[in-house]
Amino acid sequence: MDHRPLGRTGLSVSAIGLGCMGMSEYYGPSDDAVSLGTLDAALDAGINFLDSADMYGWGHNERLLGGFLKGKRDKVVLATKFGNVRGPNGERLGIKGTPEYVRSACEASLQRLGIETIDLYYQHRVDPKTPIEDTVGEMKRLVEEGKVRFLGLSECSVATLKRAHAVHPISAVQTEYSLWTRDPEAEMFSVCEELGVSFVAYSPLGRAFLTGAVTTLDGLADNDFRRNNPRFQGDAFEKNKRLTEALAAFAAARNATSAQIALAWILNKQSNVIPIPGTRRIKYLQENAAATAIRLSPAEISELDALFPASAVAGTRYPEPVMGNLNI
């Protein structure tokens, strides 16, 4: 497994990480025993960068990882997040970044994870009501106290990143990035490179759409959140399917899967980006890990770029009310 530096921390992580959200929520039923087997397989494949959040399963994901980490803590670089507040029954209560909440959220995550220090602690969404200086100021104090090693922001704007970085070095920015979500290319990548910030790409397989596996919504669980995602709806779904067919043809010519090419495109195009595809199955985890061995030529990268211009993708990343929480 190739490795990539995590910001200017001196720490390196596997070139592909593992997003753990689906092990707890959003993609239908999950099985803890199966998830734990996949986590073991991740370490066997050389994947040591695991990504969680306190909101995934409203604590379940962190508790799952807490059990997994026993006896393996030194083998894992663990990232988790705070800021999306949920009630005891999972109800959404908004976004919060006050210093008091930062501290209480961190203490709760540490308890669920059963660890003393979080390697990378993100603000999951920026709280527009709390100055970023106040939020990161408290995150900085957590670093000084040894409860957190490094800091990150998720779905922030370039302006917010710069303000946060002035308070304390930000080691990673996490935002959606894939062949069909290329917004960060406009400005964020160059700013991250300038500041020495790694870019962590979530949903690098387009919530499995880019794999070609989702040809209809009929097979998705009733509570699978993709049923309400604009890119999976009606005419947008049919239009986007044509893009995946072109990707599948490209992948077949390379004797690879669509998922592997989608990941290889990121890895070969952006040296400062660490994709974190999520999966609950060992088969797909191993398939994803093998993408690190694929080398694409500049001409092949340009061909893929041309297949997925922003204008060709139908639908927004999230429903409109959620889009308002991004790029703040």
Lookup: tokens for 268: 């070969």
Q: Please choose, from the candidates 269, 302, 271, 47, the residue with its C-alpha nearest in 3D space to the C-alpha of residue 178.
A: 269
Cβ contact 9:171 at 8 Å: yes
Cβ contact 246:171 at 8 Å: no
Which run of H or E residues covers position 82?
strand 77-82
Candidate list 27, 56, 121, 177, residue with the active-site label: 56
Q: Please choose, from the candidates 142, 134, 122, the residue with its C-alpha nearest in 3D space to the C-alpha of residue 49.
A: 122
Lookup: tokens for 21: 């959200």
CB atoms within 10 A of CB 38: 22
Whether the CA torsion 170, 295, 293, 209 is positive or negative: it is: positive
Long-range contacts of 60-63 (CB under 8 A, 24+ apart): 60/24, 60/25, 61/20, 61/21, 61/23, 61/24, 61/25, 62/109, 62/112, 62/113, 63/112, 63/113
Q: Please choose, from the candidates 166, 184, 179, the residue with its C-alpha nearest in 3D space to the C-alpha of residue 209.
A: 179
Bridge pairing between strands 118-123 and 148-154: parallel
56 catalytically annotated: yes
Enzyme catalytic residues: 56
